[in-house]
Copies of this chain bind each other. A is one copy, B any other.
Amino acid sequence: MSSPTATLLISCPDQRGLVAKFANFIYSNGGNIIHADQHTDASAGLFLTRIEWELAGFNLPRDIIAPAFGAIAQPLQANWQLHFSDRVPRIAIWVSRQDHCLFDLIWRQRSKELNAEIPLIISNHPQLQSIADQFSIDYHYLPITPDTKPAQEAKQLDLLRQYNIDLVVLAKYMQVLSSKFIAQFPTLINIHHSFLPAFPGANPYHRAFDRGVKIIGATAHYVTQDLDEGPIIEQDVVRVSHRDQVEDLIRQGKDLERVVLARAVRLHLQNRVLVYGNRTVVFA
């Protein structure tokens, strides 16, 4: 985390020489690569890579890196993103009534596990206002009914613009977002309290109990138009037994949800997640 770095996330049709081309771009400009990883999806014919290098000693000025790399990427039909580590992303956390993920994310941000700012909390319930106050984060209570939803989503979008938000984290926000909303703000991470694709939708713990599973899970994924169908970033599980009632599954699930969501958010903030199709490559 010491000196600032630049990170390129690239995906393009697979072909010979890509590793060399990208490495040469950094090297020929005097850059020192501190992390490079790549993956080839043969079935998709796709090459995906992450390259991070130190800006100290790099010959290209920051504002020239994008156009300079663009000239290399264009003939390769590459999709790419460029990120600078000293540009701190801004997160809006959305919650309903449960506080465990909210508390956890704030604690991790305060303890520097998450390199981000958290200026905004949005909720469809008033209960968690006190936590926001406790950490002096703005809390906007926007209750949702079928009738008010469109208007409230418009307000939510205004808030995201107003607070200059880069990432929305749905930390147990128990409302479905409209396709219209997602189309306008597509960078959302959601925590679903089941081992997807098992038990999508409502009440996964109750359904896990009814099914008599011996293991429960949690899944962090990007949000897409299709509920609980977005690209999976991280999952984890815990073993349960016949002694565990629904409330026990919920209790143990909270620990999973906290950790799985935090890992996913951290990976995203470090620009280690590359989405293609409905899959993710996680350059851990």
A262 → chain B closest CB, angstroms = 8
Judged by a CB distance under 8 angstroms, whether A143 is at the interface is no
Task: Select one of B20, B40, B211 contacting A278, CB under 8 A.
Answer: B211
Judged by a CB distance under 8 angstroms, whether A160 is at the interface is no
Judged by a CB distance under 8 angstroms, whether A111 is at the interface is yes
Judged by a CB distance under 8 angstroms, whether A253 is at the interface is no
A19 → chain B closest CB, angstroms = 4
Judged by a CB distance under 8 angstroms, whether A107 is at the interface is yes
Pair B241/A282 contact, Cβ less than 8 Å: yes
A27 to B231, CA, bound (A): 33
Task: Select one of B16, B33, B236, B237 contacting A27, CB under 8 A.
Answer: B16
Residue of B nearest to A40 (CB): B34
Given contacts A215-B195, A251-B113, contact A27 B19 (CB under 8 A): yes
Q: Which of A12-55 contact B (CB under 8 A)?
A: 16-20, 23-24, 26-28, 30-43
A10 → chain B closest CB, angstroms = 14
Chain B residues, Cβ within 8 Å of A211: 196-197, 232, 278
Between A and B, 26 residue pairs with Cβ closer than 8 Å are A16-B30, A19-B19, A19-B36, A20-B27, A34-B40, A36-B38, A37-B37, A39-B243, A42-B245, A43-B245, A100-B111, A195-B198, A195-B215, A196-B213, A197-B211, A197-B213, A211-B278, A212-B278, A213-B235, A214-B234, A214-B235, A239-B239, A241-B282, A241-B284, A242-B281, A242-B282
